[in-house]
């Protein structure tokens, strides 16, 4: 540990310089007196004894400096002195500071914001979990064959009892409950867990306690609540007297027994929940009823376990196929997916389960795309800074030469110049960190397409701060090393003879600046071209024909009432609700459906397993609708008829199909009169307890072509009157706009406190907009990235070309004095700027075109080689170069040659 002590002493010496100098002076005088006394003892006169003592030490100042060097203080003092000098020097150039801090600061903020999102959603932090390496998550494949799906509660109990590699296994799921006992209740997100949840994770509450085993027996669990640390701070102000307080959730009283430690998140998506509730409460909470917990077909739980000491994840994974085969043989069809294949069990590590593994790769790709764009912006910003510092170093050539003549070595000059870059990096990094804080705050408050208060922790933790610091230092080195090397390589005689405008060596010095221009323009071309494609893609998605018209239509989600109703009673309940809404004079028409077809999260809510000739059974989307639904949403009919009031229970079951269904499953026949066999009905991926059917096709509707060029997938519609409804999506068309419909829907179909409403009353058009939310968000980010890159490139090209032209004032003045026409000089200067920019654009296009083909999957309705994006980006950058070269060239053209030479 001596090196730690040494570092501490050096820093202490740095901030106690006066005291250290005094101590060294006293020590030096003591040794000098002792040496003088020895000389006196040898018989020397006093003056000679003192002189010889001074000689033996080599002089007081020299001895003191050597002592300071030995103690390692000098390098630190030099660094502090260089930073002070850099600060003093930069104060005299506020314009330089503004550009060199703002440009990289924005680039650093962009990259740090993307990293903070990836850090929260993918990298994550296990938080206060004990020994996270021994935590495993167990998944069961679902009805659709997805490998990482939920598990039913009976299956959880069997898996818990059957696994030999784990100590214990807990089940958990997300829930949304209403808090408060008034009519105006807030909704909070909670995690419903088995009683061993906190024990398995090894989490100790910071206040109170966790659930006890006797309090969480399935079917008789107590109404207890463990608050999250954030909810404790926000809702109760961190009051330690919160224990024992009663809080009403979904109208029932719950007792707060503990507060979880700070940083503990839900196991699903690392969501920042408000608290934890036990499973098995009598009567249930958020659909976790005793009946639901006993239903092997109700898969809604995830499982987390802790390995036994000495056991590994590989061992746990090895025993799961044996368990899955045993369950399949014991439980038959309930352990098969929709295609009849046996279900599988999979175990993954705690780190991999923070984000569902099947979505992890796609999310990593998205973040990688964003991060590449952010780093490209940062590279452009560094290029701007490097260009500015290079010009600044060129202007300071005489200063460096004078310092060299006074004895400063190249290393000393290099440290001095790099200290400026370091100071700018600290300022830019601080700005970037602050902007990242603002950006992540906006992301936390980003509106979602449903009224569920989901929260993700995008806060700036140590990992984000270290990333930002590393990026800032990297940007500092990237932007400053070239100018520092050039500036510290002072050639004494030429620099003292020449001025700072570069006589004699212009071609050699402009090479690096020309390369910077080419690099900036190439990077900007790539980003601007990408931005052009993104903007065009956004416009294409905005005009995409989804096959229906949501104008003047309001929509809302309605679940069954709390009492258990038979399918016929439930259907009548929803139809009566629709009739009450339609009775209002502001309402033109009302229709019910099982799903909202434009909603991004309901795309696969209703599916059917169909028998297909010469192939495996196919899973096809369907919707159950009331008569008038297609007219209300403007869905045209190609042939046949729509569903009508005569399609009721007891009548032949019928369906309307789209053209894609016709081509894929009915061999492109006319369709009407064909029969399609349905083996099973599924809702939200779960098979319904309902017999199959043979449907007669009575109509065909178009299948719109999507912006990616593909047609809408196969779909069919059945009569809501012949369906066993599980919910109602109410569609109401108004006579005077959507605004008047929303209060009517709330009045006639008020939501229950415990009702999960994926669609709150609102315009149908909002569902269409949210359908492309992810794509538009991606495109918007790329658009702003490109626009910002264009801004940086414009500044960079303008600055470098302007500086280059200004360096040629003397050359151009001599040309004009020798008879060259001013227009000819003007064209020469313009050609020089445009030639360099044009070469950069060509390089950028060579890089951008293959990237565009790789990214074509996120482009909707736009070809990778879109001529508007290609031509627009190149034209804008050429315009920037033209303006950058024209302004100084025009100034040179209007100046008298003799005045320029006289001033020079």
Q: What is the mean pLDDT of residues 420-427?
A: 73
DSSP assignment of 23-57 equals HHHHHHHHHHHHHHHHHHHTT--HHHHHHHHHHHH
The distance of Cα 178 from the centroid of its chain, to the nearest Å, equals: 29
pLDDT at 7: 46
Identify the band that residue 169 occupies on the pLDDT scale cut at 50, 70 and 90: very high
pLDDT at 501: 46
How many Å apart are CA 141 and CA 467, to the nearest integer?
37
- pLDDT score of 593 more than 60: yes
Residues 730, 577 contacting (CB under 8 angstroms): yes
Both structure tokens of 748:
């006639």
Count CA atoms within 13 Å of residue 580 on its CB side.
Answer: 13
What is the per-residue pLDDT across 836-870, written as a single tens digit (0 to 9) for each?
Answer: 777 777 887 787 777 677 666 556 666 667 777 77
Mapped onto helix, strand or coil, the DSSP state of residue 697 is: strand
Q: What is the mean pLDDT of residues 531-550?
A: 67
- Residue 248's Cβ-count burial label (10 Å; 0-12, 13-18, 19+) is middle
pLDDT at 72: 45
Q: What is the mean pLDDT of residues 486-502?
A: 50
Query: With pLDDT > 70 as the criterion, what percentage of the chain qualifies?
Result: 62
Residues 386, 795 contacting (CB under 8 angstroms): no
- pLDDT score of 305 more than 90: yes
Identify the band that residue 600 occupies on the pLDDT scale cut at 50, 70 and 90: low
What is the per-residue pLDDT across 328-350, written as a single tens digit (0 to 9) for each?
Answer: 888 887 787 766 778 889 888 88
The distance of Cα 554 from the centroid of its chain, to the nearest Å, equals: 31
pLDDT at 261: 93
Mapped onto helix, strand or coil, the DSSP state of residue 486 is: helix
Contacts of 623 (CB under 8 A, 6+ apart): 593, 594, 595, 597, 606, 715, 717, 718
Identify the band that residue 699 occupies on the pLDDT scale cut at 50, 70 and 90: very high
- pLDDT score of 81 more than 90: no
pLDDT at 516: 67
Identify the band that residue 506 occupies on the pLDDT scale cut at 50, 70 and 90: very low
Identify the band that residue 14 occupies on the pLDDT scale cut at 50, 70 and 90: very low
Q: Which of 167, 231, 156, 224 is nearest to 199 (CA)?
A: 167
Residues 367, 119 contacting (CB under 8 angstroms): no
How many Å apart are CA 344 and CA 322, to the nearest integer?
10
pLDDT at 304: 93
Q: Which of 423, 405, 575 is nearest to 494 (CA)?
A: 405
Q: How far apart are the first and last CA of the chain?
A: 61
Q: What is the mean pLDDT of residues 162-178?
A: 88
| H or E element at residue 658 | strand 654-658
pLDDT at 413: 62
Residues 886, 553 contacting (CB under 8 angstroms): no
How many Å apart are CA 388 and CA 800, to the nearest integer?
8
Query: With pLDDT > 90 as the criterion, what percentage of the chain qualifies?
Result: 16
pLDDT at 735: 84
Angle CA(397)–CA(400)–CA(403) in degrees, nearest 5?
Answer: 150
pLDDT at 65: 47
Identify the band that residue 495 occupies on the pLDDT scale cut at 50, 70 and 90: very low
Q: Which of 721, 674, 678 is nearest to 698 (CA)?
A: 674
Both structure tokens of 527:
């980003």
> Which one has a higher pLDDT value, 141 or 123?
141
- pLDDT score of 312 more than 80: yes
pLDDT at 657: 93
Q: What is the mean pLDDT of residues 305-330?
A: 90
Q: What is the β-pairing status of strands 639-640 and 693-701?
A: antiparallel
How many Å apart are CA 828 and CA 50, to the nearest integer?
74
How many Å apart are CA 77 and CA 81, to the nearest integer?
6
> Which one has a higher pLDDT value, 748 or 800?
748
pLDDT at 503: 43
Tokens 């100098």, located at residue: 21
- pLDDT score of 301 more than 80: yes
Tokens 């293959």, located at residue: 850
> Which one has a higher pLDDT value, 332 or 824?
332
> Which one has a higher pLDDT value, 411 or 376?
376
pLDDT at 96: 59
pLDDT at 695: 92
Residue 313 φ/ψ, nearest 5 degrees: -60, -40
Residues 785, 375 contacting (CB under 8 angstroms): no
> Which one has a higher pLDDT value, 32 or 762?
762
Identify the band that residue 408 occupies on the pLDDT scale cut at 50, 70 and 90: low
Identify the band that residue 71 occupies on the pLDDT scale cut at 50, 70 and 90: very low
pLDDT at 44: 82
Of 314-323, 432-441, 757-766, 797-806, highest mean pLDDT: 314-323
Angle CA(893)–CA(899)–CA(901) in degrees, nearest 5?
Answer: 95
> Mean pLDDT score of the chain, rounded to an integer?
75
pLDDT at 666: 84
Mapped onto helix, strand or coil, the DSSP state of residue 650 is: coil
- pLDDT score of 716 more than 90: yes
Q: Which of 51-55, 325-329, 464-468, 567-571 is the least confident region? A: 51-55
- pLDDT score of 291 more than 80: no
Q: What is the DSSP letter of 712?
A: P
- pLDDT score of 269 more than 90: no
- pLDDT score of 422 more than 50: yes
Neighbour count for residue 279 (Cβ, 10 Å): 27
Identify the band that residue 217 occupies on the pLDDT scale cut at 50, 70 and 90: confident
Both structure tokens of 248:
């009403």
- pLDDT score of 479 more than 90: no
pLDDT at 673: 86
Identify the band that residue 219 occupies on the pLDDT scale cut at 50, 70 and 90: confident
How many Å apart are CA 810 and CA 393, to the nearest integer?
20
């Amino acid at each position: 540990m001596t090196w730690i002590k040494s570092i501490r002493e050096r820093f202490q010496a740095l901030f106690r310089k006066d005291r250290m100098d005094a101590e060294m002076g006293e020590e030096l005088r003591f040794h000098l007196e002792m040496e003088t006394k020895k000389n006196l003892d040898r018989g020397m006169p006093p003056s000679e004894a003192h002189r010889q003592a001074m000689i033996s030490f080599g002089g007081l100042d020299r001895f003191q400096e050597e002592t300071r060097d030995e103690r390692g203080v000098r390098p630190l003092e030099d660094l502090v002195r260089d930073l002070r000098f850099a600060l003093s020097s930069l104060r005299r150039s506020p314009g330089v500071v503004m550009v060199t801090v703002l440009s990289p600061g924005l680039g650093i903020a962009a990259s740090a914001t993307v990293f903070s999102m990836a850090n929260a959603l993918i990298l994550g932090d296990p938080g206060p979990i004990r020994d996270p390496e021994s935590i495993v998550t167990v998944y069961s494949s679902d009805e659709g064959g997805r490998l990482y799906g939920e598990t039913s509660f009976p299956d959880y109990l069997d898996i818990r009892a059957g696994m030999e590699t784990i100590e214990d296994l807990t089940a958990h799921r997300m829930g949304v409950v209403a808090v408060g006992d008034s009519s105006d209740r807030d909704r909070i997100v909670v995690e419903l867990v088995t009683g061993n949840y906190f024990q398995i994770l090894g989490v100790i509450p910071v206040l109170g306690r966790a659930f006890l085993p006797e309090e969480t027996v399935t079917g008789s669990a107590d109404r207890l609540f463990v608050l999250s640390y954030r909810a404790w701070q926000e809702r109760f102000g961190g009051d330690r007297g919160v224990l024992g307080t009663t809080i009403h959730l979904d109208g029932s009283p719950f007792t707060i027994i503990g507060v979880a430690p700070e940083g503990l998140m839900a196991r699903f998506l690392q969501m920042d929940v408000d608290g934890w509730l036990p499973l098995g409460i009598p009567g249930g909470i958020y659909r976790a009823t005793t009946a639901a917990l006993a239903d092997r077909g109700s898969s809604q739980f995830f499982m987390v376990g802790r390995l036994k000491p000495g056991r590994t994840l590989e061992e746990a994974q090895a025993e799961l196929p044996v368990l899955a085969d045993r369950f399949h043989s014991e439980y038959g069809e309930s352990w098969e997916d929709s295609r009849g294949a046996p279900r599988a069990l999979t175990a993954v590590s705690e780190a991999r389960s923070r984000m569902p593994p099947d979505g992890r790769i796609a999310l990593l790709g998205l973040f990688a795309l964003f991060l590449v764009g952010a780093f490209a912006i940062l590279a452009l910003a560094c290029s701007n800074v490097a260009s500015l510092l290079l010009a600044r170093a060129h202007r300071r050539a005489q200063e460096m030469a004078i310092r060299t003549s006074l004895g400063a070595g190249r290393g000393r000059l290099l440290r001095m110049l790099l200290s400026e870059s370091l100071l700018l990096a600290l300022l830019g990094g601080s700005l970037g960190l602050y902007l990242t804080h603002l950006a992540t705050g906006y992301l936390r408050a980003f509106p979602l397409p449903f009224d569920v208060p989901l929260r993700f922790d995008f806060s700036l933790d140590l990992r984000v701060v270290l990333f930002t610091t590393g990026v800032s230092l990297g940007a500092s080195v990237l932007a400053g090393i070239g100018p520092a090397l050039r500036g510290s390589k002072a050639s004494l005689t030429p620099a003292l003879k020449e001025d700072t405008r570069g006589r004699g060596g212009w071609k050699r010095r402009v090479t690096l600046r020309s390369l910077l221009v080419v690099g900036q323009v190439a990077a900007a071309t790539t980003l601007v071209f990408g931005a052009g494609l993104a903007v065009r893609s956004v416009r294409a998605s905005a005009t995409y024909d989804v096959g229906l018209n949501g104008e003047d239509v309001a929509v809302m989600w309605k679940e069954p009432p709390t009492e258990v109703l038979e399918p016929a009673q439930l259907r009548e309940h929803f139809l009566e609700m629709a009739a009450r809404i339609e009775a209002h004079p502001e309402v033109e028409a009302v229709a019910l459906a099982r799903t909202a077809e434009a909603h991004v999260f309901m795309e696969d809510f209703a599916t059917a397993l169909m028998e297909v000739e010469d192939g495996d059974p196919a899973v096809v989307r369907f919707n159950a609708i009331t008569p008038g639904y297609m007219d209300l949403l403007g869905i045209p009919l190609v042939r046949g008829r729509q569903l009508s009031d005569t399609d009721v229970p007891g009548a032949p079951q019928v369906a309307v199909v789209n053209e894609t269904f016709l081509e894929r499953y009915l061999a492109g026949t006319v369709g009407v009169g064909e029969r399609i066999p349905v083996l099973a009905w599924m809702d939200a991926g779960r098979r319904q307890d309902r017999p199959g059917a043979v449907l007669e096709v009575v109509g065909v509707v178009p299948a719109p072509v999507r912006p990616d060029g593909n047609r809408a997938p196969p779909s069919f519609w059945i009569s809501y009157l012949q369906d066993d409804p599980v919910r109602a999506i109410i569609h109401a068309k108004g006579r005077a706009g959507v605004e008047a419909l929303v209060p009517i829907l709330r009045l006639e179909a008020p939501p229950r406190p415990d009702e999960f409403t994926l669609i709150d009353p609102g315009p149908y058009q909002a569902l269409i907009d949210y359908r492309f939310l992810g794509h538009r968000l991606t495109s918007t980010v790329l658009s702003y990235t490109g626009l910002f890159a264009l801004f940086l490139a414009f500044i960079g090209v303008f600055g470098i070309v302007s500086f280059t032209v200004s360096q040629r004032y003397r050359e151009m003045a001599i040309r004009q004095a020798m008879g060259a026409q001013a227009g000819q000089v003007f064209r020469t200067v313009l050609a020089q700027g445009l030639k360099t920019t044009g070469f950069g654009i060509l390089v950028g296009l060579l890089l951008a075109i293959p990237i565009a083909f790789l990214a074509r999957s996120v482009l909707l309705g736009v070809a990778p080689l879109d001529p508007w994006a290609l031509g627009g980006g190149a034209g804008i950058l050429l315009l920037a170069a033209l303006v950058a070269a024209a302004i100084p060239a025009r100034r040179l053209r209007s100046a008298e040659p003799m005045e320029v030479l006289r001033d020079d």
